[in-house]
Amino acid sequence: MRKLFVLFLVTVNWMKQGDISAQMHTISKVWTADNGNGTFKNPLLWGDWPDPDVIRVGDEFYFVSTSMHYVPGCPILKSKDLVNWEMAGYAIDQYDEDPRYNLQGGEMYLRGSWAATIRHHNGLFYVGFCTPNWGKEKGQYSICTAKDIKGPWTRTIFPEYLYDPGLFFDEDGKCYVVHGQGKLYVTELAADARSVKGENKLIWDKAIDKPQGSSAPYTKYGMEGSHVYKINGYYYITCPAGGTEGWQVCLRSKNIYGPYESKIIVQDESSYPNNGLHQGGMLQLKDGSWWFVIMQDRGAIGRVPHLVPVEWKDGWPMLGKEGNGKGVVINEKPKVGKTHPITVPATSDEFNASTLGLQWQWNHNPDNEKWSLTERKGYLRLHSSFANDLTMARNTLTQRVQGPASEGTVEIDVSGLKDGNIAGFGIFEKPYAYMAVRKVGNNNCLLMVNNGQVIDSINQFTPNKFWIKANATHIGFTATFSYSVDGKKFIPFGNQLKMDLGYAWTANRFALFNYSIKKEGVDGYADFNWFRFKGENVLSNN
């Protein structure tokens, strides 16, 4: 078991006294990288923000991440100092190219947006991503463009499949994507990046030897997750190798088409043995310093981003203090000229606004006729639709569980349910677990379901308003559930969920839902008054 120690948070003296309590109240309920004393700790965000790519536009930093089948897709964060982040928006509203994104005729788990790349060029933001498929289906590549990071975004779907794309605008006006897995290719795009202009040209097909000290299971590895830069006349391509236990490789050449030489620029598993730092992007600050945002697999909690300084050595961007090829646990914050308030992406929601908070994503495309924030003011109302189980239930609303531990609580009113409806709150992945009320005739039954099996139940459960709480921790990746009939005393119920990654690479999420196991009379509704999040701000001491 990992030892935990609390990091004392020192509030900087420039804050107004009236802001201090609010600041501390916020950070006490969620993990934050900012220590409040001019330093930061890793991870930047202890939640599932995989495959990061980052850019700087003026004084703002932007971060894009993979979200696969969740909608809206391609989440984008913004920051003023690379340490404190908040949501800016999404590049994808929903996926219209296949009815399975509506959970009609099947599902699209794991598909959607993978390995997004972000760039800013000639006044436009560009977000590119791939959508892999399996079997006889062909994957695809998409590019989204917007003048404002908040959107609206315009999406172009390519007939070509460009895996793990790294978008790059060259100084001569040409545009390229570096892509591939194992074998890497360069493909020239049109100048506006919205169509393919040239053929795929192979630039790298060598395996990378496992570095000394790595716990990765094989001896040689291919690369993927490319990001491209041009610095001092060299083209640099950063790529991960080795998967979960992996490391970061850099290629460089004077020509975009090569030949390329390679170097491992970070190999470190120490902060979360045996999982290495192994995919991300880098950028330069106004003060000339370079930084790398790089992810690390942390099991069922997700792939979490780290911020690591970069030192240039012999023309190579080496990560770590003095370019030692290692990550950092605590480090001085980047010098951006100002001190910025501690901020974190939103979590809790009172459902008082007319739109959903940016922290929320649906499992597949929602049916917008079946949910509302206005039918009952101050509540999220979810109408039911037919589904065999939770995995096929539309309008399941989710947000990330977080490490090192997190707690989600909802107040729910089930007086609007109809026979066959199941409404509740839980933790979603494969396996999933939840607590819910199932309407059976005129009676309510309180259930705890784990991995599709009813573990415990209370027949003739009479309260229409009650509370459900779910707790998740990175220690053993377990989750537990409890309920309350007065909002004060919570009663443990059911058994423990062993969180896993059955839908590989998508981490566990808190989930609100209402679906029906009957096709007739399904349109009952459940009202959620609020969702409240509580986290921890402690650091693993390995």
* pLDDT tens-digit series, residues 25-57: 333 579 999 999 999 999 999 999 999 999 999
75, amino acid identity: P
| 270 vs 273: CA distance, rounded Å | 5
pLDDT at res. 170: 98
Q: Are 495 and 99 in contact (CB under 8 A)?
A: no
Residue 312's CB is within 10 A of a number of other CB atoms, namely 12
In Å, what is the CA distance from 238 to each residue of 47, 214, 256, 382, 505?
Answer: 23, 19, 13, 44, 21
Specify the higher pLDDT residue, 381 or 11.
Answer: 381
Q: What is the CATH number of domain 361-541?
A: 2.60.120.200
Residue 349 has pLDDT above 80, yes or no: yes
Mean pLDDT of 506-520: 95
CA dihedral 532, 48, 355, 472 (to 10 degrees): -20
Say if CB 148 and CB 191 are below 8 A apart.
Answer: no
Structure confidence by residue, pLDDT tens digits, 67-82: 999 999 999 999 999 9
User: What number is the average pLDDT over the span 376-396?
Assistant: 97
Answer whether residue 510 shows pLDDT above 60. Answer: yes
Pairing of strands 316-319, 60-64: unpaired
Amino acid at 161: Y
Q: How, if at all, do strands 497-498 and 380-383 pair?
A: unpaired
Q: How far is CA 417 from the centre of its chain?
A: 32
Tell me the pLDDT tens digit for each residue of 94-109.
999 999 999 999 999 9
If residue 464 lies in a helix (H) or strand (E), which one and from where to where? none
How far is residue 339 from each of residues 22, 39, 44, 443, 535, measured CA to CA in Å?
A: 17, 11, 17, 57, 24
Which pLDDT belongs to residue 21?
34
Q: What's the pLDDT at 24? A: 32
> Listing from the earlier edge strand, what are the strands of the sheet with 124-131?
114-121, 124-131, 140-146, 154-158
- Of 70, 86, 74, nearest in space to 508 by CA: 70
Q: Any idea which fold 31-332 has?
A: Tachylectin-2; Chain A (2.115.10)
Backbone phi and psi for residue 277, each to the nearest 5 degrees, phi listed first: -80, 125
pLDDT at position 413 over 60: yes
Q: What is the pLDDT of residue 503?
A: 84
How far apart, in Å, do the first and last CA atoms of the chain sit?
A: 10
Say whether 224 is catalytic: yes
| 531: CB partners within 8 A, 6+ apart | 348, 349, 351, 399, 408, 409, 410, 510, 512
Of all residues in the chain, what percent carry a pLDDT higher than 90? 90
**Is the predicted pLDDT of residue 23 greater than 80, yes or no?**
no
- In this predicted structure, what is the pLDDT of residue 134? 62
Cα 527 to chain centroid distance, Å, stands at: 27
Reading the block at residue 344, the tokens are: 């974190």
| Sequence-ordered strand ranges (E) for 299-440 | 303-313, 316-319, 330-332, 361-363, 371-372, 380-383, 397-400, 405-413, 421-428, 433-440
What does residue 322 show for φ and ψ, rounded to 5 degrees? 55, 25
User: Among the options 34, 51, 53, 269, which is catalytic?
Assistant: 51
Tell me what pLDDT residue 5 has: 32
pLDDT at 158: 96
Annotated catalytic residue 51: yes
The predicted structure's pLDDT at residue 540:
55
In the chain, where does the domain assigned CATH 2.115.10.20 lie? 31-332
Q: How confident is the model at residue 520 (pLDDT cuts 50, 70, 90)?
A: confident
Locate CATH 2.60.120.200 in the chain. Answer: 361-541
Amino acid letter for position 126: Y
Contact 70, 510 (CB under 8 A): no
Catalytic residue among 224, 245, 349, 407: 224
Q: Helix or strand or coil: residue 232? A: coil
Under 8 Å between Cβ of 28 and 282? no
C-alpha 398 chain-centroid distance: 12
Q: Which two tokens stand for residue 527?
A: 């009202």
In the chain, the amino acid numbered 246 is: G
Strands 290-297 and 277-284, bridge-based pairing: antiparallel
- Residues 82-100 have a mean pLDDT of 97
- Answer for the pair 418, 522: CB distance below 8 angstroms, yes or no: yes
Contact 73, 90 (CB under 8 A): yes
- What the block records as the tokens of 454 is 């009813």
Residue 22: per-residue pLDDT = 36
Tokens, residue 160:
């070509």
Arithmetic mean of pLDDT over the chain: 93
Name the residue type at position 523: D
